[in-house]
Amino acid sequence: MANIKVMDASLANKIAAGEVVERTMNVVKELVENSIDAKSTRIEITLEDAGVKRIVVQDNGKGMSKEDAHLAFLRHATSKITQLEDLFHVTTLGFRGEALPSIASVSHVSLLTSDGKEGTFLKLEEGKIKEESSSSLVRGTTITVEQLFYNTPVRLKYLKNLYTELALITDYINKMALSYPSIQFILKNNDKQLLNTTGDGNLLKVIYEIYGIEVAKKMLPLALENEDYRIEGYMSYPEVARTNRNVMTTLVNGRVIRNSVLNRVILDAYHTYIPKDKFPILIMNIEVDPILIDINIHPTKMDIKFSKMDTLKELLTKGIVENLKKTLLIPHASVRTQETIEEVLQNSPPPAPKPFLDFVEDNYEVKENETTQLHFETETMTNRQETEEEETEEVTSNQDAHATIKRMFPVGVVHTTYIIAENEEGMFIIDQHAAAERINYEKYLKELSKETTELVPLLVPLSLEFSNEEYLLIKEKLDQIKDLGIICEEFGQNTLVIREHPTWFVEGKEKETLQKIMEILQREDTFSKEKFIEKTAITLACRMSIKANDYVSIEDMQYLLDTLTACKNPFTCPHGRPTIIAYSKYDLEKMFKRSAES
């Protein structure tokens, strides 16, 4: 019996309603998905002029019989769906069977295919078979699409945007290669090879083939599990973050999907580790019982709703955050090495990592005397005995899942901005502002999140005057900040007065602190306490920390370094900039080529 069935017309129309083959990218996608469905282990995509002139997709899959080859070009033929209900249980990718006839109607297509028993060659123009013959019995299918859109007005548009088309196709093939590490993908355009994966099943190797060795070295395995979901993949160190959000790839049961909620979860988990406009390289496959998902099928994308989104969010957030915390995230000064992917793979965790629970309980060592628990007394903070004790406790309890930096000793400072320090592992350059900012940020965050706020009375009440507009924006939100200890009284025309303030207000800069808080309050559209605390902590930390060009004594540097190492995340400032850059002893030896003399 033929593999391809002719779908009933009403079903075909339902699907075809949204179906359009309107870009070269759609054509490549359809052909590649057919190749994947045919169980190919090698798929070669050869383009001329980004596919507008010619697209050739050659695979070594199971091929088609003569009958199937004919059926494939019949409108609404599909090998996968016969009933609408089936749409929701489709396990293959190219489920829109009418794609081939659609493609054939806007291009010149030829098909060379064999299932190993018979070989068929078809040539079509305007959707009709013009030539037919038998061909070789080499198993697999080669489809050539030429003069795409030759009979439609859109052709001209694509000829002008070849780079955009090529970028879209490359991104798509990259995602397929990441989704199917066991399939070899080769992508060429005008004789230039853009991708060639080995197809040996190793995901980290695919990451290397797409992003290069520096990125492959900086990937952390993800392996998370709860009752309903299982997540596997890799996430990058913050330092290799990119400006294009396409570097985040999510698969559900092996299929690439787009889900803005999950992207948000990922970015939130990386919050303060990477700058706002950057995205981590992350590839993950979520395994889930199809009962828990609702697939919204659209011809160009897959959108999925998860019915237990909360537990998924929690699992993913926890996994990413733990991973970031337990990894020493100091960017290394780039030293050109000849490291090969084989060496990286050897030093990397296995591609199929251990289940999550074993993973967090990894024999993590707390080095008590090496991670100092001193506290940095900035001009901004009055240290009270009790907070100090509390904080010591928290820092200690926090360390069980936390990577440690060995104690660093300051050597000096350059450009009154960068502290040079060393320890037995190497040399470090620390940005004094970024470091102080991180320390103060964590301190403010802690103070602001306290259940009860201690208040300090002011000898002279503080008053702030606003414009009409400002006052309106602030007034409606004043109630919300009361439980943070900021109690404002209205006092005449557009004026607010406070008579006491929380202890975390910057001493000597109370008015400026209040002003900053009011500025943040004005900008908030909808008030969320959590976001407000976060923004206030970042703003105050930046304003009140030592700046570049501020003089810092060597004793203060030591204090700064010690306090920084005790931070929950000592590696970036709250804006995501790095605080520390490291040159390991090995890096230094390599740069000075010392190994050559020994």
Binding site for Zn ion (CB under 5 A): 437, 542, 573, 575
- Shorter beta-carbon distance to Zn ion: residue 102 or 380: 380
* Phi, psi dihedrals of residue 206, rounded to the nearest 5°: -65, -40
Strands (E), 126-183: 128-134, 140-146
Query: CB of residue 281 vs Zn ion: minimum separation in angstroms?
Result: 22
Distance of alpha carbon 246 from alpha carbon 244, whole angstroms:
5
Beta carbon nearer to Zn ion, 142 or 440 = 440
Q: Which residues contact 355 (CB under 8 A, 6 or more apart)?
A: 223, 225
Place of tokens 């020493």: 328
Closest CB to Zn ion among 245 and 575?
575
3-class secondary structure, 318 = helix
Least spacing, CB of residue 431 vs Zn ion, in Å: 9
Q: Is 546 within 8 Å of 537 (Cβ atoms)?
A: no
Assess contact for 135 and 120: CB atoms under 8 A: yes
Q: Which is nearer to Zn ion, 181 or 238 (CB)?
A: 238
Identify which of residues 106 and 544 has a Cβ nearer to Zn ion in the complex: 544
Q: Are 72 and 64 in contact (CB under 8 A)?
A: yes
Minimum CB distance to Zn ion, residue 430 (Å): 13
| Contact status, residue 64 vs residue 3, Cβ threshold 8 Å | yes
Query: Phi, psi at residue 311, to the nearest 5°?
Result: -70, -30
61: closest CA among 43, 83, 84, 45? Answer: 43
Instruction: For the CB of residue 204, give the shortest distance to Zn ion in the complex, in Å.
Output: 32
CB of 113 to Zn ion, least distance (A): 59
Q: How far is the CB of 434 from Zn ion (least distance, A)?
A: 6
Q: Closest Cα to residue 299, out of 95, 562, 585?
A: 95
* Residue 162 CB, nearest approach to Zn ion (Å): 40
Nearer to Zn ion, 518 or 542 (CB): 542
Specify whether the CB–CB gap between 57 and 112 falls below 8 A.
no
With respect to Zn ion, which residue has the nearer C-beta, 108 or 577? 577
Nearest approach, Cβ of 90 to Zn ion (angstroms)?
48
CA distance 258 to 176: 14
Least separation, in Å, of the C-beta of 211 and Zn ion?
27
Residue with the two structure tokens 């190793």: 202
Q: Closer to Zn ion by CB, 540 or 542: give it.
A: 542
Cβ distance to Zn ion smaller for residue 15 or 561:
561
DSSP secondary structure of 223-250: EEE-SSEEEEEEEE-GGG-BS-GGGEEE
589's enclosing H/E stretch is helix 585-591
